[in-house]
Amino acid sequence: MTSANVPSTSATTSSATPLYGVSVLATALLRMWRGWRIWIPVVVVNAVIQGLLVLPGVLPYPTVAFMAVGAASFLVLAVSFSIVAATMLQASTGPVSVREVIATTRTRLWPLLAWSIGLVLVVTLALSLYVLPGLIVLALTPYLLLAVVDDQRGPLGVNFAVLRARWGRWLITVIVVGVVCLVLWLLSALDGFFVTGFGGAIIGWLGLGLVSCWLICAWALVYRSVMGDHRTP
């Protein structure tokens, strides 16, 4: 894959055609199934591994065991996101190629890890000040990691270029995603209360993985409607 330059806002808004109808989330709910052969195994494997990482006696304190488990969990999440994002970037515009997804994951995993760590550090710092700044950082960077996976130069600039070009769609989607995340949080609390240990973790991660694939596809649709698909001539 070759890198693409960040288009100007005026150029993208005038020349790009949206890939979705009235609701980008409704379109994503249909379009995501183009890559089901890839993301379903990824969601299942990630859920199993995350469930296995729920070790008895490992509490959220700054210990070697907790940091090792946390690092392993983060690495699995990063690999899973890379595969799903590569899949949804293809699914948003056409059929999904397993070979291209594997190639993209192999070449973009390390840059994705670097950007992910940076984003986590910034969000953590913002959350340490207050909850709202951390949420604002997350809300303002929905296209950042997609741009990294898509091999774009200056992914942060690309993120804000897409946001400016589709600011109305971004705002509506952020609000809906916020509501979805609140519902997920409530359901995960119920899951953790009634089903504990490995079984509860598996159920929670399966649900989170399914919803995450849907939301990633939605953001990929908006992203592709501005940046286009630079795999094609």
Q: Please give the average per-residue pLDDT across 221-226, as a whole number.
A: 95
20 SS3 class: coil
| Beta carbons within 8 Å of 56's beta carbon, 6+ residues apart | none
Q: Which two tokens stand for residue 8?
A: 């100007």
Q: Which two tokens stand for residue 46?
A: 């990630």
What local confidence, expressed as pLDDT, does residue 193 receive? 66
pLDDT tens-digit series, residues 65-91: 888 989 999 999 999 999 999 999 999
What local confidence, expressed as pLDDT, does residue 19 receive? 84
Residue 30 has pLDDT above 50, yes or no: yes
Distance (Å) of CA 114 to CA 60, 110, 149, 152: 24, 6, 12, 15
What's the pTM value of the predicted model, to 2 decimals?
A: 0.88
| Beta carbons within 8 Å of 27's beta carbon, 6+ residues apart | 19, 20, 21, 218, 221
Average pLDDT, rounded, for the chain? 87
User: What is the spatial distance between Cα 130 and Cα 80, in angstroms, rounded to a whole number?
Assistant: 29
User: What is the spatial distance between Cα 47 and Cα 44, in angstroms, rounded to a whole number?
Assistant: 5
pLDDT tens-digit series, residues 48-66: 999 888 877 666 667 888 8
| Beta carbons within 8 Å of 176's beta carbon, 6+ residues apart | 25
Domain boundaries, the chain: 15-227
What local confidence, expressed as pLDDT, does residue 145 receive? 98
Residue 128 has pLDDT above 60, yes or no: yes
